[in-house]
């Protein structure tokens, strides 16, 4: 028997002994079902902060250490800004993301968006809320990056909105879907950085005047070139908000992924 299996058996035996004599109803409360890793399904012996096993946490590229002052991507030299931000100007204050959009993080975002695995919002949202606190980010109102009504209907949900409500609940910040996406844009990922920005011009508008004089925390799933965040921030600033900070689940590596 492998030592890990042995440990598991001992743990289970202990739990069985512990539960003897407990009323049936109480068992579910103390020892919840589905105590499994959100990404690989491996059984979790101990409930971890993010509902992930240690192997999956290891595989994620969690951002820490020296980062770009603007977009928050990890940089491996002493520069203050990454290559992406040295050549673009943005109207939002900062972006921060807990993870690089790669490997398992990318699988998780895909599973949420295209696989409809909405339970992933809890783990990803928890990581985003921790990132907000880690970098002393500010926000009085959370605003999700919107989808057009047509796109949302097609998918059944807007993942940015689900993440926004999860982060809002954890940080106790109200969520207001203050932006509307007014026109369809051709697939952003097929476009270059400049074309992406042009494609998004005047696509977003503010539909709630309550953003006025408020510090806004804009939430999205992925930060790629920053064009979407920037256009949303422009619309919010036009709506006279005080400032816009951006919190995204993942940021692409410096060379934007064309997938």
Q: Where do contacts with Zn ion occur on this chain (CB under 5 A)? A: 37, 39-40, 42, 53, 56, 68, 70-71, 82, 84-85
Minimum distance of Zn ion from residue 114's CB (angstroms): 20
Minimum distance of Zn ion from residue 182's CB (angstroms): 28
How far apart CA 21 and CA 24 sit, in angstroms, is 9
Toward Zn ion, which CB reaches closer, 71 or 145? 71
Q: Which two tokens stand for residue 12?
A: 């289970």
Minimum distance of Zn ion from residue 104's CB (angstroms): 8
Toward Zn ion, which CB reaches closer, 71 or 147? 71
Toward Zn ion, which CB reaches closer, 158 or 225? 225
Residue 244: exposure state from Cβ atoms within 10 A (0-12, 13-18, ≥19): buried
Minimum distance of Zn ion from residue 253's CB (angstroms): 11
User: Residue 62 carries which DSSP code?
Assistant: B
How far apart CA 218 and CA 96 sit, in angstroms, is 11
Q: Contact 245/137 with Cβ under 8 angstroms?
A: yes
Toward Zn ion, which CB reaches closer, 84 or 214? 84
Toward Zn ion, which CB reaches closer, 67 or 216? 67
Q: Contact 242/214 with Cβ under 8 angstroms?
A: yes
Pairing of strands 215-223, 141-144: parallel
The CA–CA distances, whole Å, from 243 to 144, 178, 203 equal 15, 14, 19
How far apart CA 201 and CA 225 sit, in angstroms, is 14
Outline where DSSP puts E strands in 84-194. Answer: 95-96, 99-100, 141-144, 179-181
Minimum distance of Zn ion from residue 203's CB (angstroms): 23
Q: Contact 203/230 with Cβ under 8 angstroms?
A: no
Minimum distance of Zn ion from residue 30's CB (angstroms): 23
Helix axes 103-113, 120-134, angle to 10 degrees: 130
Q: Which two tokens stand for residue 258?
A: 């064309």
Toward Zn ion, which CB reaches closer, 141 or 249? 249
Toward Zn ion, which CB reaches closer, 82 or 127? 82
Minimum distance of Zn ion from residue 39's CB (angstroms): 5
């Amino acid at each position: 028997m492998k030592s890990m299996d042995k440990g598991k058996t001992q743990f289970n035996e202990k739990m069985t002994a512990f539960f003897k004599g407990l009323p049936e109803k109480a068992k579910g409360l103390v020892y919840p079902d589905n105590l499994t890793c959100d990404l690989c399904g491996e059984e979790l012996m101990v409930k971890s902060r993010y509902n992930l096993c240690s192997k999956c946490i290891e595989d994620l590229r969690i951002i820490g250490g020296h980062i770009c002052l603007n977009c928050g991507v990890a940089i491996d030299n002493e520069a203050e800004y990454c290559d992406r931000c040295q050549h673009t100007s943005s109207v939002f204050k900062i972006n921060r993301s807990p993870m690089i959009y790669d490997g398992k993080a990318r699988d998780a975002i895909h599973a949420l968006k295209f696989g409809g695995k909405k339970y992933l919002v809890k783990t990803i949202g928890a990581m985003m809320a921790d990132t907000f606190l880690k970098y002393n980010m500010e926000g009085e109102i959370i605003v999700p990056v919107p989808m057009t009504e047509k796109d949302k209907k097609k998918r059944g949900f807007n993942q940015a909105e689900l993440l926004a409500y999860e982060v809002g609940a954890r940080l106790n910040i109200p969520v207001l879907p203050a932006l509307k996406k007014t026109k369809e844009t051709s697939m952003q990922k097929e476009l270059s950085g400049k074309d992406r920005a042009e494609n998004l011009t005047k696509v977003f508008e503010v539909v709630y005047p309550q953003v006025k004089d408020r510090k806004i925390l804009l939430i999205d799933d992925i930060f790629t070139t920053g064009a979407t965040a920037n256009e949303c921030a422009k619309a919010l600033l036009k709506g006279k908000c005080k400032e816009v900070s951006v919190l995204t689940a993942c940021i692409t590596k410096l060379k934007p992924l064309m997938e």
